[in-house]
Amino acid sequence: MGPFHVVELRYYSVSGRVCLTHVFRHFGYRGDAGRGVMALDVVRFRKLVALDDSDALSRFALGQALFQEGGIEALHEAAEHLLFANAKAPAHLATYHVLGQVLIKLGRNSEARDVLSAGCEKAEAVGVGMGHDLGPAMAKLLETL
């Protein structure tokens, strides 16, 4: 993909209504475990949270972006946003996965174990479908604790 590739992201809130449609130019792709992953822009996600700080998916997106940023302050802030998102939208399986990783990096292993265990149970209950593939990934993280 060239530097001027346009990616349209339709952003949906937990309630299902469309909040915003953003067109981002030149995100810059970077490798992540051999796959191209869109770099997450903390500034843009902060703006989404500012529009509605009670929206769990906005808080999840910001938490995930802060996690990928990786500094200790960013990890602490990511944990706050992801804990909020997890409490507000407990059916969102990706939150368990990212939150578990953040807690592990912060050395909060007991909390990580609880979050990842709950995420594995929810993923198993999904059976087949969106998020089910996160169950094995969370189980693998649990084995490291």
> What's the DSSP call for residue 5?
-
Q: Where are the domains of the chain?
A: 40-143
User: Would you say 89 and 119 are in contact if contact means Cβ atoms under 8 Å apart?
Assistant: no
Cα–Cα distance, 68 to 54 (Å, whole number): 22
Say which CATH class 40-143 falls into.
Answer: mainly alpha
Confidence of residue 129 (pLDDT cuts 50, 70, 90): low
pTM: 0.72
Instruction: Give the containing element (helix H, strand E) for 8.
Output: strand 6-12
Over the chain, what is the mean pLDDT? 76
* Residue 10 pLDDT greater than 50, yes or no: no
Name the residue among 31, 30, 24 with its Cα closest to residue 4: 24
| Six token digits for residue 38 | 């869109």
Confidence of residue 120 (pLDDT cuts 50, 70, 90): very high
The upper half-sphere exposure of residue 8, i.e. CA atoms within 13 Å in the direction of its Cβ, equals 3
Name the residue among 74, 75, 127 with its Cα closest to residue 102: 75
Helix (H, G, I), strand (E, B) or coil at 7: strand
Percent of the chain with pLDDT over 90: 50
pLDDT recorded at residue 111: 97
Per-residue pLDDT reduced to its tens digit, 94-106 = 999 999 999 999 9
- The separation between CA 104 and the C-alpha centre of its own chain, rounded to angstroms, equals 15
Name the residue among 61, 40, 39 with its Cα closest to residue 50: 61
Per-residue pLDDT reduced to its tens digit, 28-59 = 323 333 333 344 688 888 988 999 999 999 99
